[in-house]
Amino acid sequence: MLKSALGAGALFGFGLAFSTMIQPRVVLSFLRFEDMGLMLVLGGAVVITFLAYRFVPVLLQRPLLGGAFGAHESVMDRSTIIGAAIFGIGWGITGVCPGPAIAGLGAGSWELLYAIGGIALGALLQGLTAARAPRNRSHREKEARRKRAREHERTRSSFSPFLFSPVLSVPHAAECVTRSR
């Protein structure tokens, strides 16, 4: 399992480097609509991921490395919106997100250590604030979330941003796959 995770990570890092996503200036020019080269990368990734999530669970009985295809509840709530906004602002300011930052270190871009430090600090703050958040929700609110999740499960497509998990069953990402029969 470790070898397949390392192989998938190396392939992902190579893809990021090959597509120049490890260079913050290229990402920033894409976000400013000055260079649309990354749009081809994004479009290709969306198409391949859609096809993989649509057809791999139908063609395979289970992931190649064990486990099972499954689904996880996705809820659009206040925390998700705030986190997405913070991520988007950070990405827009720096041109760096976690995957390309780590891959960029492998290519010798040591200035990305600042971005990784900021990412780590943000993760730490999120963990600390989540630990302080009240854990007891009202019964009515829990039921409403379950109902929304069930409705979402019935109507959603099987698209997810994780490319390799349908076949390899990467632990958290494998929960995102739905079996469409």
Quote the pLDDT of residue 172. Answer: 37
pLDDT tens-place string over residues 24-71: 999 999 999 998 888 998 899 899 989 988 898 889 888 888 788 877
98-103 mean pLDDT = 88
Helix (H) or strand (E) holding 117: helix 112-132
Can you tell me which residue has the tokens 């600390």? 128
Quote the pLDDT of residue 73. Answer: 74
Residues 15 and 64: their CA atoms lie apart, in Å, by 22
pLDDT tens-place string over residues 1-32: 788 889 988 998 898 899 888 999 999 999 99
Nearest to 103 by CA among 162, 22, 38: 22
**Structural domain boundaries of the chain?**
2-174
Q: What b-and-e string marks burial along 147-164, b requiring 16 or more CB atoms within 10 Å of the CB? A: eeeeeeeeeeebebebbb
Residues 44 and 115: their CA atoms lie apart, in Å, by 27
Residue 138's pLDDT band, with cuts at 50, 70 and 90, is: low
At 107, list the tokens: 């290519």
Length of the chain: 181
74-101 mean pLDDT = 87
For the CA atoms of 110, 115, 76, 68, the dihedral, rounded to the nearest 10 degrees, stands at 30
